[in-house]
Amino acid sequence: MLEAKNLNVSYGGIHAVRGIDFSIPKGKIVTLIGANGAGKSSTLRAISGLIKNTSGSILFNGKEIMGESANKIVEMGIVHTPEGRRVFYEFSVEENLLMGAYVRNDKDGIVKDMKNIYQLFPRLEERKKQRASNLSGGEQQMLVVGRSLMGKPSLLMLDEPSLGLAPLVCEDIFNTIKIINKEGTTILLVEQNARMALELSSYAYVIETGKIALKGEGKALLNDERVRIAYLGESNSSI
């Protein structure tokens, strides 16, 4: 579905991503893991057209999208959920969800998808008239994921969906990601919780200082000694 070749990303004098190659098969969950500043978020921003100082190639369904505008990339079917639960705080839950459908004009489809979002996240339906500023952190994360789904993505990119959330809420978010994927949406996931991300993913890439250091099936990387020491908090003595 998506293939990046020799992708380079620079901004503010920083060469954040250094000639990486990766692919995301249709219908799969692919994870990027790595330390803060490794280049994971920069990779997502390059794909979604938010960073212009890039080179290389990004093919989506066989079409080159490097250099396309961010809104055009959304129209193609790539939706980026950024880190930080960026809701529209003064808008209601319902208004936030409708903002996710701004590229669409199929009114019946929008109504149907809104109902599907409320089935996926019942707490959002309970609070649909409340301002987003009054939601808990977990509810706000549900809202930004729901808002992204209202764009009907074929590829959904999630940047740190569990960041700052309680463990039980994290588990709910990851279970929801599984459901979204089973319903047909391909997912590219950036996540600091490496263990949960690798357990969830079909395939994963480990990024270190802008380069891909390791790659493989998610569950296989869980058993890689380097990954377990660097990202799973295990020591040599515990392996």
Check residue 236 and give its pLDDT: 62
Is residue 99 very low, low, confident or very high in pLDDT (cuts 50, 70, 90)?
very high
Give me the residue spans of the domains in the chain.
2-238
In whole angstroms, what is the distance from residue 171 CA to residue 132 CA? 22
Check residue 13 and give its pLDDT: 83
* Tokens 């979002």 -> residue: 117
pLDDT of residue 239 exceeding 50: no
pLDDT of residue 177 exceeding 90: yes
Which residues are 66's β-sheet partners? none
Check residue 136 and give its pLDDT: 92
Which residues are 61's β-sheet partners? none
> 129-172 pLDDT, tens per residue?
999 999 998 999 999 999 999 999 999 999 999 888 888 888 98
CATH class entry, domain 2-238: alpha beta
Whole-model pTM: value is: 0.92
> 184-228 pLDDT, tens per residue?
999 999 998 899 999 999 999 999 999 999 999 999 999 999 999
- Per residue, what are the HEC states of 75-113? HHCEEEECCCCCCCCCCEHHHHHHHCCCCCCCHHHHHHH
> 51-97 pLDDT, tens per residue?
988 899 999 999 999 989 999 999 999 999 988 778 999 999 999 99
Is residue 235 very low, low, confident or very high in pLDDT (cuts 50, 70, 90)?
low
